[in-house]
Chain A
Amino acid sequence: MAARIERSVGKDMPGISLPPAPDARRRLADGPGPRVVAPGRKLSWAWLGLLPFLLFALLFMILPASSIVIGSFQNEAGSFTLDNLANLFKPSILDSYLVTMKVSATTALLGGILGLLIAYAISIGGLPKSLKTFMSTFSGVASNFAGVPLAFAFIATLGRMGFLTVLLRTLFGFELYNTGFNLYSFWGLTLTYTYFQIPLMILIIEPALEGMKKEWREASESLGASSLQYWTRVGIPVLLPSILAALILLFGNAFGAYATAYALTGGLINIVPILIGAQIRGNVLHDPQLGYALAFGMVIVMTVSILFYSWLQKISSRWVK
């Protein structure tokens, strides 16, 4: 997954809206109206047109997702239990959640900060417009450049025989792998994920930066504010909800990522998606019930992130349109 969400996602996440009350519908039926708006009772029939899509979503998205929630409350015989969820608090499982959160938070911060600075540079930082076009296009590509090919690229760069590893050795006599660095562990995974996090951040935050009004800066300057004061008192407070929302998105993006980690480490790193994958594939520790609980934990993390994200989006939409 990746490049994807941008600002339109969850601008608001309204609940399910129902058709109008019966008497309202009758009133609609009497009034004149354009032909395409089905008047009167037909309104309820019009909902039938959504059936194919709704059915598909139910069968292949909602049912599978809910089966995980249900499965995490069942034992192998199918009766109710809380044991699976209790197992989530075993030290080894808790540890993998902690590692996953650490990787996700670090890549979100690293990618978020770098992405923000680059987005600033190309949007209001005074660079030529052609660079902005180039960087936006490139970000669209790079944020989708995840999974197996990305893992290969980082092996070629930072692996034991990688370009940068060898370059550091021959130019500076610096042995990267003597410092405890390993591409197949925490920092390797973090640097690799950051490759798709930076462009994702650029795509998400650039519109917010563009939306900052010139008048704000002019007004604060004419009132004698320095550049630092402008940013600390106006710029950053206005941007903060957008930035936080973007960081949450990056966090979720890294939290659910399986392909890159799988290709990079061969499934040997202790993060939640890899553990879930191992449960499905029936590798070591094969325990489907634990698999449900692990997946359930991830669904909770993702749901909380998305809710938090849409709340922040609502706040930021007050300023930046």
Chain B
Amino acid sequence: MKRRTWLSWLWFSVGMIYFFLPLFATFLFSLRGKKGVLSFVAYQNVFKDPTFLKTFGFSLEMALLTVLVGLILIVPTAIWIQLKVPKAKALFDVLTLMPFAVPPIILAFGLIRTYSRPPLALVSTPAILVAAYVVISFPYIYRSVDSGLRSMDLRGLSEAAQSLGAGWGSLLFRVVLPNLRTALLSATFLTLAIVIGELTLAVLLAWPAFGPYMALMGRNRAYEPAALAIMSFGLTWGAIGLIQLLTRSAKDKGSGIGAGGH
């Protein structure tokens, strides 16, 4: 195998070039805001633009609501299924993965058709945007929560807790959720990373979100879009990097998670 290592290096390098050349080019481009010198003028312009803060704030708010609603819908349901109705697992699996078969563009179309006339004229409320975001984040939230639940002995933990007199409330908040901490944080960061820059649903449901703002900047400005791209990349990198860090430190602790059940 050793003699083939140079081939591995080759493919690795090809990948690195494909990944980093556009990032490098974008960064360089973003520094050219002032003629003749490299500067951070483009970044300053972005931060000076009140629309930037407004749209970013709006998207952040939508993203946080999405996380909240998504977790409230999925976490108790996943726990309930594991403890009480294991038969429903298959149905739950299919439903949480369905958003992969229904791309955002289709979802937007369907929502507009279903909710644009009475009795349910919801299209003009931000609730519909949050609902759509919750749907597209189903797979991510569910996958994190499911792997979190699988790595702990939920049944053993809940039997132990209940035999010690814990009710459903303390079982959920004092036993299960603390053990799911890593999974919940992963789900949160992933959802934030996806929702904040989302374009399709925001544009088609006509909300002044961060994604449409970026697209508009792309049409009217030259260097600011590059600065925005670098900033979004940094944001995604931060979110995903944090998840990796969290899951790795959870793994390093080994049986730390769910060990209470044994």
Q: Report if A186 contacts B (CB, 8 A).
A: no
Interface 0/1 of B40-79, CB less than 8 Å to A: 0000000000000000000000000000000001101100
Interface 0/1 of B81-97, CB less than 8 Å to A: 10111011011111101
Nearest residue, chain A, Cβ from B5: A126
Interface 0/1 of A64-106, CB less than 8 Å to B: 1111100100000000000000000000000000000000000
Establish whether residues B197 and A149, one from each chain, have CB atoms under 8 Å apart when the complex forms. Answer: yes
Q: A60-B111, A67-B110 are in contact. Are A125 and B88 (CB under 8 A)?
A: no
- Secondary structure type dominating chain A contacts: helix
Q: A9-B139, A34-B155, A252-B100 are in contact. Are A295 and B11 (CB under 8 A)?
A: no
Most buried by A among B15, B146, B215: B15
Partner of B21, one of A138, A164, A256: A164
Binds A, one of B130-138, B177-185, B253-261: B130-138
Interface 0/1 of B8-39, CB less than 8 Å to A: 11111011001101111110111000000000
Q: How distant is A247 from chain B, measured CB to nearest CB, in Å?
A: 15
Count, chain A residues at interface, CB 8 A: 105
Establish whether residues A262 and B199, one from each chain, have CB atoms under 8 Å apart when the complex forms. Answer: yes
Q: How distant is A54 from chain B, measured CB to nearest CB, in Å?
A: 8
Q: How distant is A111 from chain B, measured CB to nearest CB, in Å?
A: 10
Tally inter-chain residue pairs, CB-CB below 8 A. Answer: 310
Establish whether residues A140 and B139, one from each chain, have CB atoms under 8 Å apart when the complex forms. Answer: no
Q: A65-B110, A68-B113, A258-B105 are in contact. Are A60 and B135 (CB under 8 A)?
A: yes
In angstroms, Cα B108 to Cα A140, docked, is 26
Most buried by A among B7, B135, B143, B198: B135
In angstroms, Cα B73 to Cα A28, docked, is 29
Chain B residues whose CB sits within 8 angstroms of the CB of A67 once the complex forms: 110, 113-114
Q: Report if B167 contacts A (CB, 8 A).
A: no
Establish whether residues A256 and B198, one from each chain, have CB atoms under 8 Å apart when the complex forms. Answer: no
In angstroms, Cα B98 to Cα A299, docked, is 11
Please provide the chain A residues from 137 to 151 with a CB less than 8 Å away from any CB of chain B in the complex.
137-138, 140-142, 144-145, 147-151
Q: A15-B90, A152-B228, A153-B26 are in contact. Are A126 and B1 (CB under 8 A)?
A: yes
Q: Report if B101 contacts A (CB, 8 A).
A: yes
Establish whether residues B26 and A157, one from each chain, have CB atoms under 8 Å apart when the complex forms. Answer: yes
Q: How distant is A49 from chain B, measured CB to nearest CB, in Å?
A: 4
In angstroms, Cα B204 to Cα A113, docked, is 34
Q: Report if B203 contacts A (CB, 8 A).
A: yes
- Secondary structure type dominating chain B contacts: helix
Q: Report if B152 contacts A (CB, 8 A).
A: no
Partner of B25, one of A46, A138, A157: A157
Count, chain B residues at interface, CB 8 A: 100
Contacts A49-B84, A125-B4 known; list 13 others, CB within 8 Å: A6-B143, A14-B93, A16-B91, A46-B84, A50-B80, A53-B92, A61-B138, A121-B15, A140-B244, A258-B104, A262-B215, A263-B214, A302-B100
**Can you show 11 pairs from A to B with CB atoms below 8 A apart?**
A14-B90, A36-B83, A49-B76, A50-B81, A118-B11, A126-B4, A142-B19, A150-B229, A258-B200, A262-B200, A262-B203
Interface residues of A (CB under 8 A from B): 1, 4-6, 8-10, 13-20, 34-38, 43, 46-47, 49-50, 52-54, 56-57, 59-68, 71, 114, 117-118, 120-122, 124-127, 131, 135-138, 140-142, 144-145, 147-157, 162-164, 194-195, 198-199, 202, 227, 252, 255-259, 262-263, 266, 273, 276-277, 279-281, 291-292, 295, 298-299, 302-303, 305-306
Interface residues of B (CB under 8 A from A): 1-2, 4-5, 7-12, 14-15, 18-19, 21-26, 28-30, 73-74, 76-77, 80-81, 83-85, 87-88, 90-95, 97-114, 131-132, 134-136, 138-140, 143, 146-147, 155, 158-159, 162-163, 190, 193-194, 197-200, 203-204, 211, 214-215, 218-219, 225-226, 228-229, 232-233, 236-237, 240-241, 243-244
